[in-house]
Amino acid sequence: MEPDLRDLISAWLGGDLDADRAAELLRRVRDDAEFRREFVEQSQMLSAIKAVQSAEPRWLSLEDEIGWGAPDEPLEDRVLQAIERERPPRHRLAAWAAAVAAVAVAAVAVVAVVGWPSAPPPSLVGDPPAAGTAGTVAVLVKADDAHWGTSDRPPPAEGTPLGVGPLRLRSGQITLNFVNGVTLSVVGPAELDVRSVDRVFCRRGKLRTRVPPGAEGFTILGPGSAVVDLGTEFALNVADDGTAEVMVFEGQAEVSVLNAAGHTLSSELCQGRNALSIDPAAGRIRDVIAEPARFAPRTTWSAPPLVLKPGFAASVRSLRPWGYWRFRERADGVVPNEVADRPAFRAKNGVRLVGTGEAGVAEFAPGRPDQVLVLDGTWTPPRADGYAIELWVLSVQFQHSSLVSVSPDGIPGDRHTALLEFTGHSRALLHEECAIRLLDRWPPSRKGGANVFSSTMYTPNRWHHLVAQLRPTGSELYVDGVLAGSAPTGPDTGTAPCRMILGRMKIGPDRDPQQIRPLVGRMAEVAVYDHPLSPAEIRSHAAATHAEP
């Protein structure tokens, strides 16, 4: 994300800007149409939450707030006109910036119904995207007997990043994982357009979606209809004639009939285990008998196995690790250290150790944010000479998840000296989205330090080999055998005995979900070294898998 856009969104989220910087950014909002459009797109997810939390049905309350009698002209022009109308003297720049943000929020809400002014959509498939790239909104994580419609593009395979654009499925079932954590299953025949990270238009087909906390407002549009998630799992069937049926399996959703201009004719809430039919031509929504078998089934899939080549463990041991843990299945939850006289990890609060023979995996299930692996002792990272942390890890979805947390013993657990994590799609943080992050920090604190973000996104439901290490020259992050980023570190090489936890940011409860960041997925073959690894050693270990794609 470019610095101007980052600063503008930061100010919108409550950050401070001096008057000169505010004036500079607002001039660009006025003068740069592409920048203005990008700001509106980035702010769209933030506006959705405010809209769906209204006490009234979403579309009805927005009609009153926005006014549908606005001129039929490009959205960005209307935003700019509103800015100019509100422009105050220079001494009120801070208030003006807030007004600009409010106008953008209101304008974006209109987009959820009528869509953006037409423009050629980017290609749906392409090369693995850079982390934080706005062009990628989802990843195809599963395709069951999928037969695709005619297209001039190659059909996407499992693991393919998807941008906005059309999706045509002749038969079979596919599952998309959006960068905000939303899971969308599609049963063919189906025709839909992926319009943004939180909006899909379905011309026909069967869809089922599950929306995690924080992604409320995900919207599926149909010909003359809209279903807005309010924290749910729901399914939608859209027929060729535009009629539709929706069933909520958990939570609630708002169901609306729209006229040809995209305005709301009627709107009703649909709550758990109930169903509604939508007839846009008649302008009618009515109750129907809920028949789950008529809708798309919930997608279920298991994590692919991690099958390592013979000799992998011997190779790790030959590099003289300080500690090495292989997650053999044990009823007592103890993960012994392969290095004699070094501490074990203990699985707590439901972490499952799964596997047979010499090795296994630690499984972190959904809905259990208290799950964690805790080192039964301390490790003193040699920050002057360097160290390395190596592991295999899989996340079932895009989600902000702490993988390894290292904090000096005896101080609060959120004051880290090292943190390795997956980032997600966040409204509160300006981190690169859906990337892998390494933080080195000394002295330990809740802020500051040197960040390294991977240059590419991680892929849900895929095993990744990670090495996070500190050298005398700085910190390095390797992803699947490739150097993904590096950063210089400060001159202070102090250290202390540290506790280490896996799968969570810190031990204990916290009211702020950002201070928990639980992993939902699997982890295996964790090793810690009192020295950095060479690029050749890292490449060799990353290439040692026979894991299924």
- Check: CB of residue 25 under 8 Å from CB of residue 17: yes
CATH 2.60.120.200 positions along the chain are 312-542
Output the pLDDT for position 514.
67
Output the pLDDT for position 431.
62
Output the pLDDT for position 26.
75
Which pairing describes strands 464-471 and 233-238: parallel, antiparallel, or unpaired? unpaired
pLDDT (average), residues 304-310: 90
99 vs 431, more confident: 431
Q: What is the CATH number of domain 138-294?
A: 2.60.120.1440
Output the pLDDT for position 428.
55
Q: CA-to-CA distance for 488 and 495, rounded, in angstroms? A: 17
Output the pLDDT for position 425.
78
Which two tokens mark 464?
């990744």
Q: What is the CATH number of domain 312-542?
A: 2.60.120.200
The answer to whether residue 128 scores a pLDDT higher than 90 is: no
Classify residue 382 by burial, with Cβ atoms within 10 Å: 0-12, 13-18, 19+: middle
Percent of the chain with pLDDT over 70: 74
Residue 364 amino acid letter: F
- Check: CB of residue 101 under 8 Å from CB of residue 79: no
pLDDT (average), residues 86-109: 39
Distances (CA, A) of 350 to 324, 333, 336, 362: 22, 9, 18, 10
pLDDT digits over 366-405, tens only?
888 899 999 999 999 999 999 999 999 999 889 899 999 9
The answer to whether residue 21 scores a pLDDT higher than 90 is: no
Output the pLDDT for position 356.
62
Which pairing describes strands 199-210 and 219-222: parallel, antiparallel, or unpaired? parallel
Distances (CA, A) of 331 to 345, 348, 366, 466, 524: 14, 12, 21, 28, 17
235 vs 61, more confident: 235
When mean pLDDT is compared over 144-153, 258-267, 411-420, 467-476, the highest value belongs to 467-476
Q: CA-to-CA distance for 172 and 1, rounded, in angstroms? A: 37
Instruction: Give the pLDDT band of residue 237 (cuts 50, 70, 90).
Output: very high
pLDDT (average), residues 526-535: 98
Distances (CA, A) of 351 to 264, 346, 354, 403, 441: 47, 9, 10, 14, 28
DSSP structure class, residue 59:
H
Which pairing describes strands 138-148 and 161-162: parallel, antiparallel, or unpaired? antiparallel
Phi, psi of 7 (to 5 degrees): -65, -40
CATH 2.60.120.1440 positions along the chain are 138-294
pLDDT digits over 317-370, tens only?
999 999 999 998 888 999 999 999 999 999 999 999 988 666 799 999 988 889
Output the pLDDT for position 357.
63
224 vs 73, more confident: 224
Q: Can you spell out the DSSP letters for 223-288? A: TTEEEEESS-EEEEEE-TTS-EEEEEEESEEEEEEE-TTS-EEEEEEEETTEEEEEETTTTEEEEE
Query: Under the phi-then-psi rule, with left for phi > 0, alpha for psi from -120 to 50, and beta for the rest, what region is 317?
Result: alpha
Closest CA to 169 of 278, 300, 296, 277: 296
Average pLDDT over the chain, rounded to an integer: 80
Instruction: Give the pLDDT band of residue 9 (cuts 50, 70, 90).
Output: low
89 vs 249, more confident: 249
Taking the alpha carbons of 388, 393, 399, 402 in that order, is the dihedral positive or negative? negative
